[in-house]
Amino acid sequence: MKKVIVYSTKNCPYCRMAKAFLDKHGIPYEEIDVGEDSDAAKKMIDLSGQRGVPVIVVDNEIIVGFDSQRLNDLFGETLSEEVYDVLIAGAGPAGLTAGVYCARKMLNTIIISENIGGQALESWAIENYMGYRMITGEDLMKKFEEQVRTLNMRLELDRVISISKENDIFTIRTVSENIFKAKTVILAQGNRPKKLGVANEEQYLGRGLSICSTCDGPLYKGKRVAIVGGGNSAIQTAVEMSKIASSVSLIVRSIIRADPIYEGMLESNKNITVYLNTQVTALHGNKFLSAITTKNAKGEEQKIELDGIFIEIGWLPNTDFLGGFVALNEKKEIVVDLNCHTSQDGVFAAGDVTSVKNKQIIIASGDGAKAALEAYEYLLKSS
């Protein structure tokens, strides 16, 4: 039996995914909360060279992040050759809602996703979802997941890397080299965060640069941080991190484009410094990030010493693996009609990965339901 240790923080969705994977496969593990235990955090950083969670230790092997491919290699199981009625790629609000509606129609359904909750997991506070005055993204997605797990469907923690069609059957391949077949497909794989686009960015990922503040924020208690972005999520992150960090620099490429309620929170906060019309041009540090260089609209450069930077500059659709299988627009989003139909017969799409203009959890959920009902109707006509 392998010895497994999971270093995590309380509100890290990817830590929860790692633990859910281990629980599913009956793998015992020791969990250490590095957000609460500073000595354990130092040990984790020394072991992995990472200031980000999760970090999983399997015997003497260090696994950084929720690496579904490596975990499947170590603990996965052989899959059957069955053909599903519906395969759903993605388990955010759209994918999980689609799963519920498919299950209610008694369809043999599988959901494949690298994480459960998608982009919504990274919301510190959601105040516009009906039924809740305020709820965190993680808590809302936990409720979605709990409902899905009560239903008769399969949920695989994996990532789709290709899709093809032959004789009206779709074949889906994953990064873990698994193959699944289905009669219909719902694409709901959401978005991924944009990068800064500066030199050495990958070098500092997990070493002072983070794309998940809810995951890594607790590791920056009492430290100096910067948030890059000017939308709702950036302002929310700046406000939340101001309660943890000693100082917060908010770096906005142009002007703040957040809802008035968030701007009000920002204005009343005394340890947040806002830099408008400014962008990050360089990252500095040895093993860990220790400073950034910024340039404003006048061309003036400034070096800001800090311990961490959180990127909140927008998202890109996860459509690279489609390779022309369905039509995309100029933003690489999946083109859908009012009823979530794509250009490929039998393939439907929902959520932030689509060309639907407004990217909101409640809209993604509604479109997930529509896609499932359309898939059901397609199967009825095909039978």
Q: For residue range 56-95, list pLDDT tens digits in order.
A: 999 999 999 988 888 888 987 766 679 999 999 999 999 9
Output the pLDDT for position 80. 63
Output the pLDDT for position 310. 96
Whether 277 and 254 have beta carbons less than 8 Å apart is answered as yes
**Residue 274: strand pairing partners:** 250
Amino acid present at 34: V
Q: What is the CA radius of gyration of the chain?
A: 21
pLDDT (tens digit per residue) in 6-64: 999 988 878 888 898 898 889 999 999 999 999 999 999 999 999 999 999 999 999 99
Within 8 A by CB and 6+ apart from 270, the residues are: none
Domains and CATH numbers, the chain: 4-75 (3.40.30.10), 83-193+316-382 (3.50.50.60), 201-311 (3.50.50.60)
Tokens describing residue 126: 């959601």
pLDDT band at residue 127, thresholds of 50, 70 and 90?
A: confident
Surface-to-core class of residue 383, CB atoms within 10 Å of its CB (0-12 exposed, 13-18 middle, 19+ buried):
exposed
What separation in angstroms does the CA of 300 have from each of 253, 272, 273, 279, 303?
A: 14, 21, 17, 11, 10
Surface-to-core class of residue 1, CB atoms within 10 Å of its CB (0-12 exposed, 13-18 middle, 19+ buried):
exposed
Residue among 279, 236, 224, 280 nearest 255 (CA): 279
pLDDT-above-70 percentage for the chain? 99
Q: Rounded mean pLDDT of the chain?
A: 92
pTM of the model as a whole: 0.82
pLDDT (tens digit per residue) in 234-278: 999 999 999 999 999 999 999 999 888 888 888 778 899 999 999
Place of tokens 């992995």: 48
Whole-angstrom distance, CA of residue 295 vs CA of residue 293: 7
